[in-house]
């Protein structure tokens, strides 16, 4: 170690030559711009010339416990976890090859909200299971180049895979000589570094157009992923796109020693901005963790960067005076699972998994007033016509979309016999999530969905497809047609009042029936001229 430090510190020339040689080994031949965007057929033809690995195969094949780049003692801030058994930093170089090695996946993150800085995550579905990987890319606004839902193909031979603070990521080795005044050794040495954007673009090709409907949000309970840290678990779980249901912020956070403290005492002078998502770390940039719980005694954290655009927003249910109402906001959290463990000064949970949200839209939390959960249950759609008849003694003025509840035997038979003509909805989902059009499913997926409906009949409703009207919208300066729905807002009081403004939502492309903004849909102004 001392000999290596001597070489590094005393010979800048050697460092320069080494880095140039390293980059030269990683730089592929120039790629024709016309080939940056591929069809599925073109992608298959290209892959046939090399080797395609699943994301899990890639991690298992090349990522070792200590890495193979120089020696583990040269990695900056080389540390193990508190038990001393597991390394937090490693670099494994991937040999250059005349035969290309590829991975492919669909982008699950963007950096618009600032919580994924110079990084993105991809997922791949293999045998119905999600595999995932982080990509460390040296570019701001990488989400503008590779949008959520975009499938990409990456040539990885000549690059590296490493763990930065225990998070596996596609990377390049990088030497860091940054010195903090309080710890001169803190950032000196080799570490998993970002891939220069020029190299990344030359090695990455887009397959088709972005399609967020193809993303998979795996549902878990907190207790399922709070497992003991080891390399195998990290490779399996890190970077997965997950959904955690029926949780709430507790208004607490973990201290570096693992103890739990309140985000706020209610005294603004004492608390400062403690009851926000990510209080400042004096521009060091470590993620901040805020505890969520599921009502069953299980806890984990939502991790946010102080550089996120929402860093200084109050937690749901919190304000400048305190956090008393945080537990009242209950619902689902969507985000990227990870295990960031740096130096235990600002860790989300010291030695535990955490979820990083992509934006505040991933917090699907609602004030838990009486009746909210019932009203938000899509299963209620089935009973609306009967409720109108029972409580109002009249027939509905507007007809409901024909709805079937597999919980009932007759409806179950109809759904199973006609599933490819129906739209299936998970009753607990919102924002367009959990919506499946039977006509778009493969025979294998139809079979899997039928088995799931039979196993959990109360979880789903099925509806006949409503053929939306096409509405003209402006896109990229030109008129085009999109499927749309129109909503008016009616206020009830002494007399019902229809607002003169309304909401019009439209689909992201001409063939889609999904209009939710969380699924890529748009909206336009609507004016109600008469009742």
Does residue 360 share a domain with residue 229?
Answer: yes
Work out the end-to-end distance of the chain between its first and last CA atoms, rounded to an integer number of angstroms.
Answer: 80
User: 119-126 and 101-107 as β-strands: parallel, antiparallel, unpaired?
Assistant: antiparallel
User: Pick from 121, 123, 131: which is nearest to 60 by CA?
Assistant: 131
CATH of the domain at 415: 3.30.1490.270
Does residue 521 share a domain with residue 482?
Answer: yes
User: Pick from 509, 172, 229: which is nearest to 353 by CA?
Assistant: 229
Does residue 61 share a domain with residue 8?
Answer: yes
Q: Considering all CA atoms of the chain, what is the largest pairwise distance in Å, rounded to the nearest integer?
A: 90
Does residue 416 share a domain with residue 391?
Answer: yes
Long-range interactions of 12-16: CB distance < 8 A, separation 24+: 15/175
Query: Domain range spanning residue 201?
Result: 2-216
Does residue 406 share a domain with residue 275?
Answer: no
Domain final residue pick, 418, 433, 464: 464
Does residue 68 share a domain with residue 140?
Answer: yes
Domain total of the chain: 4
Q: What is the pLDDT of residue 432?
A: 64
Torsion angle of the four alpha carbons 516, 452, 220, 277, in this order, in degrees rounded to the nearest 10: 10
Q: What is the pLDDT of residue 54?
A: 96
Domain final residue pick, 194, 216, 238: 216
Domain final residue pick, 153, 188, 216: 216
Phi/psi of residue 60, nearest 5 degrees: -65, -30
In a domain, 373, yes or no: no
Q: What is the pLDDT of residue 179?
A: 57
Q: What is the pLDDT of residue 494?
A: 79
DSSP per-residue codes, 254-304: E-TTS-EEES--S-HHHHTTTTBSS---TT----EEEEEE-SSS-EEEEEE
Does residue 192 share a domain with residue 245?
Answer: no
In a domain, 96, yes or no: yes
Does residue 102 share a domain with residue 190?
Answer: yes
Does residue 334 share a domain with residue 207?
Answer: no
Q: Which letter, b or e, does each residue of 202-213 get, where b requires 16 or more Cβ atoms within 10 Å of its Cβ?
A: bbbbbbeebbbb
Residue-wise pLDDT tens digits, 29-79? 444 545 568 888 888 898 999 999 999 999 999 998 888 876 655 666 555
Q: Which pTM was predicted?
A: 0.68
In a domain, 323, yes or no: yes
Q: What is the pLDDT of residue 426?
A: 84
Q: By 3-state DSSP, what share of the chain in percent is helix, strand and coil, each rounded to 5?
A: 25, 35, 40
Number of C-beta neighbours around residue 389 at 10 A: 12
In a domain, 372, yes or no: no
- Could you tell me the two tokens for 31? 């790629």
Residue numbers in the chain where pLDDT is lower than 50: 1-31, 33, 181-185, 344-350
In a domain, 351, yes or no: yes
Residue-wise pLDDT tens digits, 195-228? 999 999 999 999 998 888 889 999 888 888 766 6
Does residue 330 share a domain with residue 456?
Answer: no
User: Pick from 264, 256, 242, 263: which is nearest to 286 by CA?
Assistant: 256
In a domain, 49, yes or no: yes
User: 37-38 and 204-207 as β-strands: parallel, antiparallel, unpaired?
Assistant: parallel
Does residue 318 share a domain with residue 227?
Answer: yes
- Could you tell me the two tokens for 254? 């973990």
Does residue 211 share a domain with residue 100?
Answer: yes
User: 288-293 and 460-464 as β-strands: parallel, antiparallel, unpaired?
Assistant: unpaired
């Amino acid at each position: 170690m001392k000999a290596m430090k001597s070489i590094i510190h005393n010979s800048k020339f050697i460092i320069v030559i080494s880095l140039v040689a390293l980059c030269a080994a990683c730089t592929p031949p120039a790629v024709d711009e016309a080939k940056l965007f591929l069809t599925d057929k073109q992608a298959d033809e290209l892959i046939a010339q090399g080797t395609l690995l699943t994301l899990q195969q890639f991690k298992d094949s090349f990522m070792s416990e200590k890495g193979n780049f120089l020696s583990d003692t040269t990695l900056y801030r080389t540390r193990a976890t508190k038990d001393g058994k597991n390394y937090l930093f490693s670099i494994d170089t991937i040999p250059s090859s005349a035969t290309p090695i590829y991975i492919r996946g669909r982008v699950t993150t963007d950096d618009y909200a600032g919580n994924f800085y110079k990084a993105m995550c991809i997922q791949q579905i293999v045998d119905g299971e999600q595999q995932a990987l982080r990509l460390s890319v040296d570019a701001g606004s990488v989400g503008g180049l590779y949008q959520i839902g975009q499938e990409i193909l990456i040539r990885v031979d000549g690059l590296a895979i490493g763990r930065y603070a225990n998070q596996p990521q596609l990377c390049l080795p990088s030497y860091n000589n940054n010195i903090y005044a309080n710890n001169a050794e803190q950032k000196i040495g080799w570490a998993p570094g970002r891939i220069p954007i020029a190299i990344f673009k030359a090695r990455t090709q887009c397959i088709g157009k972005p399609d967020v409907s193809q993303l998979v949000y795996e549902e878990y309970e907190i207790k399922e992923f709070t497992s003991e840290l080891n390399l195998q678990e990290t490779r399996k779980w890190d970077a997965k796109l997950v959904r955690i249901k029926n949780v709430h912020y507790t208004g607490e956070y973990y201290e570096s020693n693992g103890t739990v403290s309140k985000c706020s005492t209610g005294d603004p002078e004492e608390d400062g901005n403690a009851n926000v998502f990510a209080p400042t770390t004096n521009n060091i940039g470590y993620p901040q963790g805020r505890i969520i719980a599921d009502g069953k005694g299980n806890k984990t954290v939502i991790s946010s960067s102080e550089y996120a655009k929402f860093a200084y927003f109050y937690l749901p249910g919190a304000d400048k005076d305190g956090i008393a109402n945080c537990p009242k906001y209950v619902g689902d959290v969507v985000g990227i699972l990870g295990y960031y463990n740096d130096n235990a000064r600002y860790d989300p949970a010291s030695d535990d998994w955490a979820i990083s949200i992509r934006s505040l839209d991933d917090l699907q939390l609602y004030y838990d007033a009486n009746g909210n959960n019932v009203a938000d249950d899509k299963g209620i759609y089935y009973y609306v016509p009967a409720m109108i008849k029972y409580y109002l003694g009249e027939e509905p003025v507007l007809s409901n979309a024909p709805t079937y509840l597999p919980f009932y035997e007759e409806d179950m038979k109809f759904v199973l016999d006609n599933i490819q003509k129906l739209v299936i909805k998970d009753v607990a989902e919102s924002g367009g999530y959990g919506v499946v059009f039977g006509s778009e499913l493969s025979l294998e997926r139809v079979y899997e969905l039928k088995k799931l409906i039979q196993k959990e009949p109360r979880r789903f409703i099925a509806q006949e497809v409503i053929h939306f009207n096409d509405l003209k919208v402006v896109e990229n300066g030109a008129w085009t047609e999109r499927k749309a729905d129109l909503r008016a807002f009616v206020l009830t009081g002494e007399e019902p009042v229809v607002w003169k403004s309304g909401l019009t939502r439209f689909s992201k492309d001409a063939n889609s029936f999904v209009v939710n903004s969380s699924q890529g849909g748009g909206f336009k102004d609507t004016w109600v001229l008469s009742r």
